[in-house]
Amino acid sequence: GRHPHSDADLRARAARAVPGGMYGHLNAALFPPDFPQFFVRGEGARTVDADGREYIDLMSSWGPILLGHRHPRVEEAVAAQLARGDTLNGPGPVFVELAELLIELVPSADWAMFSKNGTDATSQALVVARAATGRAKVLMAHGAYHGANSWFTPATVGLTPADRADFVEFAYNDLASAERAAASAEGDVAAIIVTPFRHDAFEDQELADPAFARGLRALADRIGAALVIDDVRAGWRLDLGGSWEPLGVRPDLTAWSKALGNGHPIAAVTGTDALRDAAASLYSTGSFWFSAAPMAAAVATLETLRDTGGIAAMARAGELLRAGLAEQAAAHGLAVTQSGPPQIPFLTFADDTSFEKAYHWTTAALAAGVYVHPWHNWFLNTAHTEDEIRTALERTDDAFASTRRRFGAD
């Protein structure tokens, strides 16, 4: 017989079978109490939790879902590959096909290498830079998230000071602070790693000042360090060629993951010819890094995105959502800030440093059937049609009304 699998039942069983019941960024203990922990289904713009409640999913699984859940073209490509085998003694032809496609789409890419998660890609990019330069230090923005390994995890338990010793921080969008960080590292800088915009949790998002982006490029060139763009979160939502293409700033290395396979596990590093030999010199591997099905997913995802103008569609949907939320908040007398690119939206309330209003509003939105996050940016996908956004907005209006009743007007 089947075990009961309500969210509460699953949590109780997980509390015994898994340390802490859950871990990492999906741990529901980090969210308002009504947020579900377990999900059973996703289709297009919708997801269904273990209690059978359906949501319009504005988190897109924290980024990986780019074309909607279970996109037919992607799932067909995966099924076709799975029917032939997935993890074999060597990669399939799709390994070469995907590398060639990335080189074609991404102007800064002369080569590509594959792995599984964003952390694999950011770590590998930094090791390539160190191999190329023979230097140790890495400049990174204070508060930026680049992964969950010992270099980057926000929880320092179990680490040693040596794990972080080679990282020197600067302030995002503050070129002078990056120049100072470089000077303090005295000719030992292998890389500058930076996200294409500032998307730190618990903060309003901040787009990159074009002068900052250009300045980092010039700084990297001047000191002989690699400029690494961490496009794990923003990649494939802002520009097909990389998120700083619109600014005319090309990196030496880019880390990709999340959206690349529309939910299938794949990450990539792309880089320039100058770093090809260094990249070839690494011992880079993993049991599942050469599996073919996620690569087939990635080829289908990128081709679909390119052929359907998906990025522009996400931008339009995001603008519609933003305008609707702004209108509703104003109508209910609530002051909000919406930040970041429309494809990667975020909303905070004024005077809400403890996120009480955000918790209330997201909980009310959840009850009405819209899954949004109180302190982390959201992600649109191409299944967010105008109809889905309008339906989401019909539901969020009540959430603003409820927030106004609870906290009063601003």
User: What are the residues binding ligand PMP (CB under 6 A)?
Assistant: 117-119, 122, 145-148, 195, 230, 232-233, 257
Q: What is the nearest approach in angstroms of ligand PMP to the Cβ of residue 383?
A: 21
Q: Shortest approach of ligand PMP to residue 83 CB, angstroms?
A: 27
3-state DSSP assignment of residue 290: coil
Smaller CB separation from ligand PMP, 146 or 264: 146
* Shortest Å distance, C-beta 234 to ligand PMP: 7
State in angstroms the smallest separation of the CB of 122 from ligand PMP. Answer: 5
* Cα angle, residue 176 at apex, residues 172 and 182 outer, rounded to 5°: 90
C-beta closer to ligand PMP: residue 124 or 257: 257
Q: Please, which residue, 94 or 260, has the CB nearer to ligand PMP?
A: 260
DSSP string spanning 207-255?
A: EPPHHHHHHHHHHHHHHTPEEEEE-TTTTTTS-TT-TTGGGT---SEEE
In the structure encoding, which two tokens stand for residue 84, read together? Answer: 């032939």
Minimal CB distance to ligand PMP: which residue? 118
Q: Which is nearer to ligand PMP, 61 or 122 (CB)?
A: 122
**146 or 332: CB nearest ligand PMP:** 146
Q: Which two tokens stand for residue 90?
A: 């060597």
b/e map 338-355, b = 16+ CB within 10 Å: bbbbbbbbbbbbeebeeb
| Distances, alpha carbon 3 to alpha carbons 6, 9, 10, in Å | 9, 9, 9
Measured from the CB of residue 406, what is the shortest distance to ligand PMP in angstroms?
Answer: 31
Q: Name 44's bridge partners.
A: 69
| Residue with smaller CB distance to ligand PMP, 204 or 398 | 204
C-beta separation of 139 from 191 below 8 A = yes
CB of 119 or CB of 402, closer to ligand PMP? 119
What is the smallest separation between the CB atom of 322 and ligand PMP, expressed in angstroms?
A: 21
Cα dist from 169 to 13, 134, 144, 193, 322, whole Å: 42, 20, 10, 10, 33
3-state helix vs strand vs coil in the chain, percent to 5? 45, 15, 40
Least Å from the CB of residue 138 to ligand PMP: 14
- Smallest distance from the beta carbon of 409 to ligand PMP, in angstroms? 35
- Collapsing DSSP states into helix, strand and coil, what is residue 394? helix
Neighbouring residues of 330: CB distance < 8 A, sequence distance ≥ 6: none
Angle in degrees, CA 29, 33, 38, rounded to 5: 65
Q: What tokens appear for 244 in the block? A: 């700083």
| Shorter beta-carbon distance to ligand PMP: residue 147 or 215 | 147
Of 51 and 203, which has the nearer Cβ to ligand PMP?
203
Short-list 301, 311, 299, 296, CA closest to 382:
311
State the minimum distance, in angstroms, from the CB of residue 275 to ligand PMP: 19
- Contact assessment for residue 339 and residue 322, using Cβ atoms and an 8 Å cutoff: no
Looking at the Cβ atoms of 147 and 342, the one nearer to ligand PMP is 147
* Distance in Å, CB of 355 to ligand PMP, minimum: 19
